[in-house]
């Protein structure tokens, strides 16, 4: 009996595992980029909203700003001098069936003016 082909068999067995790990890393990288984009767009909308808070149509303008840049369900709440924006979106991925809600995007930021500076905090 010869040992020819053993390396090939091991390679063929390990190839799907390597492929699964590479796609998982790829999906996590994409999720990280998308999450960062959602956070940045939400912060920009808060800055815009607080600097133009005297505009009577500011909620609609913030919604249009967010709609033009990101997808998902958006909740905009102005309470006194505080602006709260929540954005939820279902990130579609190959691994969604395995990890369930781990790939969903849920971003909430609260901002207010303090000494003419915009203070933004993640909630």
CB atoms under 10 Å from CB of 70, counted, come to 20
| Residue 78 in domain | yes
Task: Tell me whether residue 49 is in a domain.
Answer: yes
- Is 71 within a domain? yes
Domain that holds residue 79: 6-122
pLDDT at residue 26 greater than cutoff 80 = yes
pLDDT at 1 over 70: no
**pTM of the predicted protein model:** 0.83
Strand partners, 75: 86
Within-domain flag for 14: yes
Read off the pLDDT of residues 37-54 as tens digits, 9 standing for 90 and up.
Answer: 999 999 999 999 999 988
Write down the pLDDT at residue 101: 65
The pLDDT score that the predictor gives to residue 108 is 95
CB 79 within 8 A of CB 72: no
Confidence of residue 2 (pLDDT cuts 50, 70, 90): low
Q: Using DSSP, state whether 56 is helix, strand or coil.
A: coil
Q: How many domains does the chain have?
A: 1
118 vs 36, 41, 87, 111, CA distance in Å? Answer: 20, 15, 20, 7
- Which pLDDT does position 79 carry in this prediction? 87
CA distance 79 to 84: 8
* pLDDT confidence bin for 111, thresholds 50/70/90: very high
What confidence category does residue 98 fall into, taking pLDDT thresholds of 50, 70 and 90?
confident
């Amino acid at each position: 009996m010869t040992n020819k082909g053993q390396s090939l068999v091991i390679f063929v067995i390990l190839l799907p595992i390597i492929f699964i790990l590479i796609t998982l890393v790829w999906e996590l990288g994409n999720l990280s980029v998308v999450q960062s984009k959602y956070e940045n767009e939400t912060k920009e909308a808060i800055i815009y909203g607080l600097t133009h808070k005297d505009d009577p149509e500011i909620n609609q303008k913030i919604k249009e700003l967010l709609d033009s840049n990101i997808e998902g369900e958006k909740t905009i709440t102005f309470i006194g001098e505080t602006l709260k924006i929540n954005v939820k979106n279902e990130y579609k991925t190959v691994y969604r069936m395995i990890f369930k809600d781990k790939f969903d995007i849920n971003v909430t930021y609260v901002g207010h003016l303090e000494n003419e500076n915009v203070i933004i905090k993640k909630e």
